[in-house]
Amino acid sequence: MSVTAALVKELRERTGLGMMDCKRALEETDGNVEIAIEELRKKSALKAAKKAGRTTANGLLGIKVAADGTRGAIVEINIETDFAAKNEKFIGFVNDVLERVFESASGDLAALAATGLEAERETLVQEIGENVTVRRASVIESSAGGIASYLHGDRRKGALVELSAHSQDLGRDIAMHVTAINPLVVNAGDVPADVLAKEREIYLSQAQDSGKPEDIVIKMVEGRVRKYLAEVSLTDQPFVKDANQKVGALAKAAGTDVLSFVRFEVGEGIETDDTDFAAEVAAQLSNSE
Specify the CATH number for the domain of residue 70: 3.30.479.20
| Contact between 242 and 177 (Cβ < 8 Å) | no
pLDDT score of 49 more than 50: no
Residue at 27: amino acid letter: E
CATH number of 45's domain = 1.10.8.10
- Domain end marker among 116, 141, 166: 141
Whether residue 26 sits in one domain with residue 58: no
Report how far apart the first and last C-alpha atoms of the chain are (Å, whole number). 53
pLDDT, tens digit (0-9, with 9 covering 90-100), for 247-262: 999 999 999 999 999 9
Q: What is the pLDDT of residue 21?
A: 74
**Final residue belonging to a domain, choices 141, 160, 185:** 141
Residue 57 has pLDDT above 50, yes or no: yes
If pLDDT is split at 50, 70 and 90, which confidence band does 209 have? Answer: confident
Residue 215 lies in a domain: no
Q: Are 120 and 59 in the same domain?
A: yes
**Tens of pLDDT, residues 2-29:** 788 888 888 776 766 667 777 888 888 8
* 24 plus 69 within the same structural domain: no
Backbone angles phi, psi at 72, to 5 degrees: -140, 145
Q: Tell me: do 91 and 130 sit in the same domain.
A: yes
Would the pLDDT of 42 be above 90? no
Residue 279: predicted pLDDT: 56
**Are 16 and 59 contained in the same domain?**
no
Domain match, 31 and 107 both: no
Q: What is the pTM of this model?
A: 0.75
Spell out a b/e string for 253-274, using b for 16 or more CB atoms within 10 Å of the CB, else e.
Answer: ebebbbbbbbbbebbeeeeeee
Structural domain includes residue 107 = yes
Structural domain boundaries enclosing 58: 52-141
Which of 84, 119, 141 represents a domain boundary (last residue)? 141
Q: Give yes or no: residues 117 and 137 share one domain.
A: yes
The torsion region of residue 145 among left (phi > 0), alpha (psi -120 to 50) and beta comes to left
| Residue 212 resides in a domain | no
Contacts of 3 (CB under 8 A, 6+ apart): 23, 26, 27, 31
| Residue 71, beta-bridge partner list | 141
State whether 33 and 96 are in the same domain.
no
Same domain? For 26 and 104 the reply is no
One-letter amino acid at 117 equals L
Number of domains in the chain: 2
24 plus 82 within the same structural domain: no
Mean pLDDT check: name the lowest of 31-40, 176-185, 191-200, 215-224: 31-40
Per the domain annotation, does 174 fall within a domain?
no
Residues 6+ positions from 273 with CB-CB distance below 8 Å = 55
Please indicate, yes or no, if residue 14 is contained in any of the structural domains: yes
Residue 19 lies in a domain: yes
Q: How far apart are CA 71 and CA 128, in angstroms?
A: 32
- Decide if 246 is inside a domain: no
Q: Are residues 62 and 134 in the same domain?
A: yes
Question: Per-residue confidence at 286, pLDDT binned at 50, 70, 90?
Answer: low
Cα 119 from Cα 228, distance rounded (Å): 46
**132 inside domain:** yes
Q: CB within 8 A of 135, min separation 6: which ones?
A: 56, 59, 76, 77, 78
Considering the domain architecture, whether residues 59 and 134 belong to the same structural domain is answered as: yes
